Amino acid sequence: MSATDIIDNPFAVFVIAVVTQAGAAFIGDRLRRKRQPLKKDEQNDLDTVLTATLTLLALIIGFSFSMAVSRYDQRKNYEEAEANAIGTEYIRADLLPAEDAAKVRELLKSYVDQRIAFYNRDRTASASAEAARVRGELWSSVARVASAQPNPVVGLGVSGMNDVFNTQADTQAAWLNRIPIAAWALMLLIAFFSNLLLGYRERSSGHLALVVLPVISSIAFFLIADIDSPSVGVISVVPQNLILTSEEMKAHR
């Protein structure tokens, strides 16, 4: 399993984060037990470093969460843009000759259903091939009319079809725009040393503190990975606008 496959799966991120951080905390606790108790000045210095490290970890998690949310919002905005472009082109089909207009409308109905399936995580090879076929037929339909009747009215239909394809490309780019693997690695590294220092610190609360921080921060990692991943997880972009557009197109006569 590659690093990309791991960050694409929020559940794998959670498990790795819990194991890594809990392991670091217990390693720190084991190291502390093997040496003499820290002096008061040494304990104060360790508390200062631990506080700074935990603060840095919190800031990194906050920034990563903000990055994930901005990408999630971008994917939602492009879903809305796709629905608007498809709906507009469906109306502009009236500018084409009757026979071509009817064919374009039927193809657009099939195309919007395929886009809904894409957002619902149906990305098999056969689904991709079918989507490519429909896009090719859509373009051939408007290009043939534009070649036969090169005028501004038909040009609106061609421009609308360009918008349909451009918004689909924007969506694809947004789905590939993810938090970099290097950022994940640095965040996990800081979390590792934070828990190592926490384990090394003198305490009177037993091992409870060694478990709470790894679990809490791992939940944050899970949430970030879930929001950032468009393919796997609990939180995803629901194609509400595309569904409404599909319903309106099917109700149109």
Angle CA(253)–CA(116)–CA(83) in degrees, nearest 5? 60
C-alpha span between 209 and 211 (Å, rounded): 5
67-95 core/surface letters (b: 16 or more CB in 10 A; e: else): bbeebbebbbebbbbbbebbbbbbebbeb
105-137 core/surface letters (b: 16 or more CB in 10 A; e: else): bebbbebbbbbbbbbeeeeeeeeeeebeebbee
The predicted pLDDT at position 99 comes to 86
Closest CA to 249 of 80, 112, 51, 55: 112
Closest CA to 161 of 172, 177, 145, 148: 145
C-alpha span between 1 and 45 (Å, rounded): 40
Identity of residue 234: V
Query: 184 in helix, strand or coil?
Result: helix
The residues, ordered by sequence, that sit 6+ positions from 81 with a Cβ below 8 Å of its Cβ are 167, 170, 171
The predicted pLDDT at position 210 comes to 78
The predicted pLDDT at position 83 comes to 93
Angle CA(178)–CA(183)–CA(189) in degrees, nearest 5? 145
Its pTM stands at 0.83
Closest CA to 213 of 198, 231, 235: 198
The predicted pLDDT at position 42 comes to 67
Residue with tokens 């994940």: 184
Angle CA(128)–CA(242)–CA(98) in degrees, nearest 5? 85
The predicted pLDDT at position 125 comes to 66
**Which tokens go with 101?**
């207009």
The predicted pLDDT at position 95 comes to 84
Low-confidence ranges of the chain (pLDDT < 50): none
